[in-house]
Chains A and B, each alone.
Chain A
Amino acid sequence: MCSPSIKRCLRHNTDKGFTLVEMAIVLLIVALLLGGLLPTISSQIEQQHRNDTRKQIEEIRQALFGYAIINGRLPCPTNQADPTNINYGSEDPLLCNTEGYLPWKTLGVSETDAWGSKRSAMGDPWTGYWRYRVDRNFSSPALFNLATGFGSCPVGAPASDCLEIRDSSGNSLTNTTERPVVIVYSTGPNFTADGQNASLEALGGIYQNDVPNPNFDDILIWISRPQLFNRMVSAGKLP
């Protein structure tokens, strides 16, 4: 291709190029730099997802307060699996006494956590969708008031869900007089409810919260009755 002045052409190319050794050094440096950066970047992304999820779950907390102030009760969970259904993402009045997914449309909040992906068909998995449980005394059609309590917990009391939070070692993080009114959690990067969150108790619902560890990566928040009442009183909704 270089002919007829092929010699000149080749010589010119040789003059301007890098030797293999030089290329190797450059590649080595680039590889070293990338190798050093990659773990940092992936852990940064992981941290970013965690922070985003925390931010979203805080927004959900505020949305729940807002919903309670407007409606005098908390919304029930949803488990409508068909994205084309008109009630997809909206609360289901039949699910008030069990765990389900957060009714994101009812609350107007993000559909999934930062790791999740939105469903588009009936058979799609619920990856990263917020899990949600509310004590039935605070979500039932009868509105709650400052005297609403938890009935006689823990077990055999249909009056309440008697929610409880434990840490990874099984220690209770809540007491029996003042229980969580509502629980929201993200299944974290592994898309699976871990520890106590994996099992569903109809009465005396036990949930788990802890710092991330190899066996637990869920991010869970709860709202207490005083916190809920405080917002309702501040807004003039109660008593």
Chain B
Amino acid sequence: MRTHRAHMHSPLHTQQRGAALLIMLVILIAGATAMLLHTLNSTTLRLERDKVTADALAQAKEALISYAVSSDNSGSASARPGNFPCPDKHAPNTVNYGTESSPCSAGDLGRVPWKTLCIAQPVDGSGESLWYALSGNFRKSASIINSDTKGTLIVYDGSGNLLTPPGSEAVAIIFAPGNAIGTQVRNSASDQTSASNYLDIGPTSINNATVNGPFIAASSSDTFNDRLLIIRTKDFMPIVEKRVAKEIKNILTNYYSTHGAYPYPANLSVCKDSLTCTSDTTICRGRLPFVAQPVDWSGSNSLPATGISPWFSTNNWYLVFYYSVGTSRLASAPSGCNPTLNVSGNSAPGLFFMPGSPLGSINRTYPNSNVSWYLEDAENQNLDDNYVTPTSISNDQLYVLP
């Protein structure tokens, strides 16, 4: 204080330039900037990692769905639309790493087979390759895959709520394993092929490293850092159905242009397999016939007709169609049928529906005449000649025949 006062009264006080103040300011600014940078860095770093993880999961999902949609071109005779590759159980840095380990058991765990999918290895924000579990129903060894096939894997959230309610079960689950936590070791080849070194045990003691699940998608904590992305039938079955529908529409229009009539449908309450799904000349609505009348499918006495892929009949796709034709396009006029159909006010010679995956706990068994198991809109369920374009409550696809 004394000094201060002395200076205050000194004639030299103008020489005080506030250098100390400047230095203090610089230190303060430097400190504040450092702190700011540190916080920003750790936050942006975490956000950046989360983004990498989310992107990798999305890419893997897109690639797996692409595989399922385009399957039957991948070299294997048993391949058909809708089947997924087996997980990859090879250790990193081995020659087959990235390739599916086929055959696989139901709900098998392994890495996303990125080489089989022909994509760049998808890695999460911590640099780990993604893991993957596949429902037994969608393996190449499954007997039948069509619209009726349901996922079987179950996923809970951190509080024990079901994330895969009936009708939305998981077909496949992609895991971003995150950094090693707890007792996880990822050094040797055997460490690196053991799911428990990557997938964690959730707060409700559900262990994601369990083959065929159930699985858990909890929020991140010190003991759980897996991130899950679920593939359900609704993510890819509509595209598969589009492919199937387009093939069958071509077959039907060819049939009509050759024979001057569409085949009669097969009876809903009788049709259950290739032996029973035969055209019934007394009806105008039902299923797609396996054996057609008035003339059978061209080139052979039953499906597959020329121009349709072999997987169509081996996977019972003909069972899932709802098929209806007006009498003007049939060889004769069954009773109770109009010359043309009415679709949302427009006239249509014929139509078929792709029914989408079964909703809720519906389990389609054959034979059945429950149209409501397939079509959701009430107007489309009542077995008359009036139909509506599928509304937002429905997962059906309507195809009008010329």
Known: A29-B26, A230-B70. A173 touches B121 (CB 8 A): yes
Interface 9-mer from A88-96, A174-182, A195-203: A174-182
Task: Let me know if A18 and B17 touch, CB within 8 A.
Answer: yes
Known: A25-B19, A173-B115, A239-B247. A226 touches B63 (CB 8 A): yes
Nearest Cβ on chain B to A12's Cβ, whole angstroms = 12
Task: Let me know if A233 and B69 touch, CB within 8 A.
Answer: yes
- Tell me if A227 counts as interface (CB < 8 A to partner B): yes
CA A225 to CA B119, docked complex, whole Å: 10
Task: Let me know if B118 and A180 touch, CB within 8 A.
Answer: yes
Task: Let me know if B118 and A230 touch, CB within 8 A.
Answer: no
CA A114 to CA B239, docked complex, whole Å: 36
- Tell me if A157 counts as interface (CB < 8 A to partner B): no
CA A15 to CA B336, docked complex, whole Å: 110
- Tell me if A117 counts as interface (CB < 8 A to partner B): no
Task: Let me know if A177 and B75 touch, CB within 8 A.
Answer: yes
Can you add 9 more A-B contacts, CB < 8 Å, to A19-B17, A233-B242? A22-B17, A146-B72, A178-B116, A225-B70, A226-B73, A227-B63, A227-B66, A233-B70, A233-B239
B-side contacts of A177, CB under 8 Å: 74-75
CA A209 to CA B114, docked complex, whole Å: 14
Using a CB-CB cutoff of 8 Å, which residues 199-228 of chain A contact chain B? 209, 221-222, 224-227
Task: Let me know if A178 and B117 touch, CB within 8 A.
Answer: yes
Task: Let me know if A149 and B63 touch, CB within 8 A.
Answer: no
Contact string against A for B residues 42-70, beta-carbon threshold 8 Å, 1 for contact and 0 otherwise = 00000000000000000000110111011
Known: A29-B26, A226-B70. A233 touches B243 (CB 8 A): yes
Contact string against A for B residues 227-267, beta-carbon threshold 8 Å, 1 for contact and 0 otherwise = 00000000000010011001100100000000000000000
- Tell me if A234 counts as interface (CB < 8 A to partner B): yes
Task: Let me know if A234 and B239 touch, CB within 8 A.
Answer: yes
Q: Please indicate which of the listed interface residues A19, A26, A180, A239 has the most CB atoms of chain B within 10 Å of its own CB.
A: A239
Task: Let me know if A147 and B73 touch, CB within 8 A.
Answer: yes
CA A147 to CA B308, docked complex, whole Å: 12
Task: Let me know if A22 and B74 touch, CB within 8 A.
Answer: no
- Tell me if B120 counts as interface (CB < 8 A to partner A): yes
CA A209 to CA B73, docked complex, whole Å: 26
How many residues from B make CB contacts under 8 Å with A?
33
Nearest Cβ on chain B to A213's Cβ, whole angstroms = 15
- Tell me if B14 counts as interface (CB < 8 A to partner A): yes
Task: Let me know if A225 and B118 touch, CB within 8 A.
Answer: yes
B-side contacts of A173, CB under 8 Å: 98, 115, 120-121
Task: Let me know if A230 and B121 touch, CB within 8 A.
Answer: no
**Interface residue ranges, B against A (CB under 8 Å):** 14, 17, 19, 22-23, 26, 62-63, 65-67, 69-75, 98-99, 115-121, 239, 242-243, 246-247, 250
**Interface residue ranges, A against B (CB under 8 Å):** 15, 18-19, 22, 25-26, 29, 146-147, 149, 173-175, 177-180, 209, 221-222, 224-227, 229-230, 233-234, 236, 238-239
Pick the contact of A230: B14, B22, B69, B98 (CB < 8 A).
Answer: B69
Task: Let me know if A229 and B70 touch, CB within 8 A.
Answer: yes
Task: Let me know if B75 and A229 touch, CB within 8 A.
Answer: no
CA A233 to CA B70, docked complex, whole Å: 8
A-side contacts of B243, CB under 8 Å: 146, 233, 238-239
Nearest Cβ on chain B to A90's Cβ, whole angstroms = 28
Nearest Cβ on chain B to A189's Cβ, whole angstroms = 20
Known: A18-B17, A29-B26. A179 touches B69 (CB 8 A): no
Task: List 30 A-B pairs, Cβ < 8 Å.
Answer: A15-B14, A19-B17, A25-B22, A146-B72, A175-B98, A175-B115, A177-B75, A178-B116, A178-B117, A178-B118, A221-B120, A222-B118, A224-B66, A224-B117, A225-B70, A225-B73, A226-B67, A226-B71, A226-B73, A227-B62, A227-B66, A229-B69, A229-B73, A230-B65, A230-B70, A230-B239, A233-B70, A233-B242, A234-B239, A239-B247
Known: A18-B17, A146-B73. A226 touches B118 (CB 8 A): yes
Known: A25-B19, A239-B246. A174 touches B69 (CB 8 A): no
A-side contacts of B239, CB under 8 Å: 230, 233-234
B-side contacts of A22, CB under 8 Å: 17, 19
Minimum CB distance partner of B240 in chain A? A233
Nearest Cβ on chain A to B275's Cβ, whole angstroms = 28
Nearest Cβ on chain B to A133's Cβ, whole angstroms = 15
CA A233 to CA B98, docked complex, whole Å: 26
Nearest Cβ on chain A to B26's Cβ, whole angstroms = 6
Nearest Cβ on chain B to A13's Cβ, whole angstroms = 13
Q: Please indicate which of the listed interface residues A19, A178, A236 has the most CB atoms of chain B within 10 Å of its own CB.
A: A178
Q: Please indicate which of the listed interface residues A25, A26, A234 has the most CB atoms of chain B within 10 Å of its own CB.
A: A234
* Interface pairs A-B: 7 shortest CB-CB: A224-B118, A229-B70, A230-B66, A226-B66, A226-B70, A178-B118, A230-B69
Nearest Cβ on chain B to A181's Cβ, whole angstroms = 9
Pick the contact of A209: B19, B62, B120, B246 (CB < 8 A).
Answer: B120
A-side contacts of B71, CB under 8 Å: 226
Nearest Cβ on chain B to A15's Cβ, whole angstroms = 6
